[in-house]
Every structure is written in structure tokens, then in C-alpha cells.
Structure 1
Amino acid sequence: MLYQQIEYIKFLLKSSNQHGVHSPFVYQLVTKCFYKKTDHNFWNSFLKIRYHLLDNKKSIKVTDFGSGSKVFKNDEREVSKIAKVAGISNKKAKLLIRLVHFFQPKSVLEIGTSLGLGTSAIKIGNNNTKITTLEGCSETSTIAQELFIKNNFKSIDVHSGDFKETLPKAVINNKFDFIYFDGNHTKKATLEYFETCLQTINNNSVWVFDDIYWSKEMKETWLEIKAHPKVTVTVDVFYFGIVFLRNEQAKEHFKIRV
């Protein structure tokens, strides 16, 4: 927590708003998406789903293939507590909804379904998108699938199991317009996901990395991703790192307060 607080202060000192952006593409993203209010109906739909999970007192056994929880001390966890502690925050959900609504991706890959809150934000942002979402824990993904059925969300394929097995299968012969990386928060795993997903890109692909300042290791991961030759533009909003792989863009990196 202290590490993140220090990094946030550094971020505030180096970041800017739309007035510090000289790229027309990023300027439009900031003014038409970042600083636009989240649609009222979209947000009410998301809150309804969040409250449903917060009311779920069922306990499940969580299988964690990642770096583990900083809060939970055992694998028996109440759904409501997972939603409260580990679910996507309201601030992140609002921006994720706006990003998806702005770019209108036809196909989305999500690495890390959890209870389905992030997936729901994506679906709310563009109900017509087809989502492939991967979750390591079968019991967690069962809760997510029940959530999708309850809210009549169509075209969501949930795959359970270790990402080492499910991700290579998910990317075969697939092109994704939008990928949300919210899985294993370790450097080795995140860079492996990054490399594996490169085969899915098109010129308009948008990649969103969650918690890029979660740890020193994740910050190092973000710096390596920024330096990759296929990455042209990145936008750091502190809690998300957004990557673009547009051939026509000069390589530029932005830190934007949202």
C-alpha cells in the first residue's frame, strides 16, 4: 500500500490533462472518452450487478494460480467479500465502460474473469461485442456465468483453467479488437500473456493492463511493455495502462490524470 501511495504521488507530479497532449488521436481519447461522463443508464446497470454480488453470502473455494491475495488468508471466501475487495472498483469500471463504448470493439478477450464484474462493464459498454473471458478458478467462473445468465448477457464464452493452457487455445486464429489483462499480477506471467496475444492484433487493437503499479514488479513489467517495438502509443492513467499498436502512430507515452 505504501509503495502504491508513493508511486501515485510521483504519477501526479508527472501527469497532465488534455492540455499537455499534442497527439490528435490521444487528445480525442482524453476529451471524448476519459473526461466524458459515464452514461447514466450504463452506470445504473453496472451498480445493479455489483449490488447483486455484494448481497451474495455464498462461500466458495478459490483456486488461485496467480500471485495471491493481499487481503484473504485462505481459499474459502464469501462471494460478497470477493466482490467488495477484489472486484473491479467503481472508478475503473466507469473508465472501462467508457473505453469500450468509445472504441466499440467487435471482439474482446478478458484475462481474469473473477466474478464477472469487469466482464459486465465491458458488455454494458458495448452489448454487441463478443467476449472470450478466461478464469483460473472454476467455482469463481461458475458465479460469473450465473451472473451473465441472470442479466441476459449473450455472446460471452467463459473458459476455466490455468491461463497457460486456456490462453494459447483462445488466441488461435483469433483477432481481438480489445484485450483486458486482469490476471496473474506477476512480471513473468504478464509478459507471457503479452507475447502470446501479439498474434491477435490488428491496427486498431486496444489493450488495457490492470494495476500497473500494483507492485514494483508490475511497474517493471509496464516499462518493458512500453519499450516493445510493436507498441506505438501508451496512456498511463495510474490504475490502468492502455496500449495501442497503430502502425501510423509515432511512438509516444502519456501520463493522464483521470
Structure 2
Amino acid sequence: MRLAADYLLYRLRAIKLHGVHSPFVFDLFNHVIHHTGDYLAYHNVESLRDKLLQDNRQLSLTDLGAGSRSIKSKTRKVKDIAATSAKPAKYGQLLFRLANYFQPQTILELGTSLGLSTSYLAAARQNAQVYTFEGCPNIAQVARENFKQLGLTNIRLVEGNLDDTLAPTLAKLEQLDFAFLDGNHRYEPTMRYFEACLTKCHEGSVLVVDDIYWSSGMKRAWAEIKRHPHVRQTVDLYFVGLVFFRQQQPKEHFTLAF
């Protein structure tokens, strides 16, 4: 009921294209958020999703994040993970369009799961390097199989606890152009990962924060990210929030219908 109330408030606040007065956000809304075209990658990744939804393999899990609301078992079938933990097509395809639009060279994804959102990011920028982090070795193995099946060779999957693996990976990077924060839906880890990513961000960087209304902790984290002095523009799409650092733009926060 709380999520339903949050969603209703979001719909009441959300504006459509005619209400956007920022040229940067107007273009983003028109050409990326509500782009209606099709890409081959959509069909490839969604065909893989269909197969995963029929996959009865049972996996023993190591869950280092906030877990799933609907499944609490220490073992899960691949098809159940695909149904409950993988990002829906709508949001995977939004990630594809964002990466295609901003053309990042270095992409981080904090939370691989079965690799569907990873695949969308990697397919959008096949000349970029995608680093994705997964805490469960058995899920990571299935994700690797999926990347191979899709022919994606620009992905480096980093296994282990994100608290141990993120900082060493960031230390090797010259800069971070794009990050999808989907690793732990709690306030403190989310803010810790956000601050870590900031050390390598620049004016053109894009951060996507997942499930910004998932819990009171995530709502608090989203509010704090919006207030951060380095953040200049944010876009609230309810299930995800977009964060920009464009210093030539005024500090503004948008809630857009998606």
C-alpha cells in the first residue's frame, strides 16, 4: 500500500513533454525517455529473457544485498530470478537508450543478476568497457553464459562482495562515464556506492539509481543524492532516478511521466 501511495503521488507530480522547460531535459525526454523506435538488441535480450523464464535450474544463492521481497529461499530456480529480480524490458531498454545517447566509454553496473540489464548496456556501447558486479558465484556463472550466448565480449564481471570489489575497480579507472546503481537497496550502502562513484565522475557522467521508492531508506538516499552539491539535475521516473552533473545547467529536479 505504501508503494501504491508513492506511485499515485508520483503520477500526480509527473509532467509530460509540454511541461519541460530545460532544453537538455526536453531533448532527453523526447529522444531517449519516450523514444518509440526499435533496436535489434531489444529482440535479442528479450528472446534470452523468454528462455530464462523457462529455465528450471536450481541455484544455491549468496545474497549480499537487501534481497527479494517475494522470494526468501536460499535456493531459487533461474526462472524465478528472471521473473522477480531481472529488470523489466521497459527499464532495460531505457538503459540501452541512455547509453546509446550519451556514448559512455566506461560503464559500471552495481548488481548483475542474470545479466539482462548488463546486456542492454553492453549492446548499446560495444566499443565501451562494461564492468558489472555480482555477489553470488552461481548467478554470475549463468550471467556469463548469457553474455556468451548474446556474443557480448565487452563485459567484465567482477565477483564478490561489492564492499570489497568496487573501490579496487574504480581505482583502475581514469574516469567513470555511466553507472547503474542496483547493488543494494538500503540507505547506507547506496550512499556509500554513490560517493565512491563520485570520485571518478565528471561533468558528462550519468548515474542511474534503481528503485528509488523501494523502501524508506531508498527514498532517503534519493533525497540526499538530489541535495548533494555536485549533483545539478535529477530526473525522477519512479522506478529509477537519473543523476547529472552538468555544471553549466541550473540545479533542477524533474519528475517525468514514464
Tell me if TM exceeds 0.5.
Answer: yes
1: CA distance, partners of 2:106 / 2:50: 27
Deviation at 1:207, TM superposition (A): 0.3
**Which residue of structure 1 lines up, in the alignment, with residue 97 of structure 2?**
98
8 A contact 1:38–1:97 mirrored in 2: no
**Which residue of structure 1 lines up, in the alignment, with residue 231 of structure 2?**
231
Deviation at 1:248, TM superposition (A): 1.3
**Which residue of structure 1 lines up, in the alignment, with residue 56 of structure 2?**
57
Deviation at 1:111, TM superposition (A): 0.2
Deviation at 1:38, TM superposition (A): 4.0
**Deviations 1:163-200 (CA, angstroms, capped at 9, x unpaired):** 11000111104112110001110000000001111111
Q: 1:38 to 1:186 in 2, by over 3 A?
A: farther
**Which residue of structure 2 lines up, in the alignment, with residue 216 of structure 1?**
216
2: CA distance, partners of 1:28 / 1:73: 42
For structure 2, the residue ranges without an aligned partner over 5 or more in a row are none
Runs of 4+ more than 4 Å apart: none
1: CA distance, partners of 2:93 / 2:201: 25
**Which residue of structure 2 lines up, in the alignment, with residue 73 of structure 1?**
72
TM-score normalized by the length of structure 1: 0.97
1: CA distance, partners of 2:155 / 2:39: 24
Kindly tell me the number of residue pairs found equivalent between the two proteins.
Answer: 257
**Which residue of structure 1 lines up, in the alignment, with residue 151 of structure 2?**
152
**Which residue of structure 1 lines up, in the alignment, with residue 136 of structure 2?**
137
8 A contact 1:116–1:147 mirrored in 2: yes
**Which residue of structure 1 lines up, in the alignment, with residue 243 of structure 2?**
243
8 A contact 1:46–1:124 mirrored in 2: no
8 A contact 1:65–1:136 mirrored in 2: yes
- Identity, in percent, stands at 38
8 A contact 1:204–1:246 mirrored in 2: yes
2: CA distance, partners of 1:38 / 1:71: 33
TM-score normalized by the length of structure 2: 0.97
**Deviations 1:16-73 (CA, angstroms, capped at 9, x unpaired):** 0121111111111001111211424232112112112222211111111111221112
Deviation at 1:101, TM superposition (A): 1.4
2: CA distance, partners of 1:245 / 1:167: 21
Query: 1:200 aligns to what SS in structure 2?
Result: coil
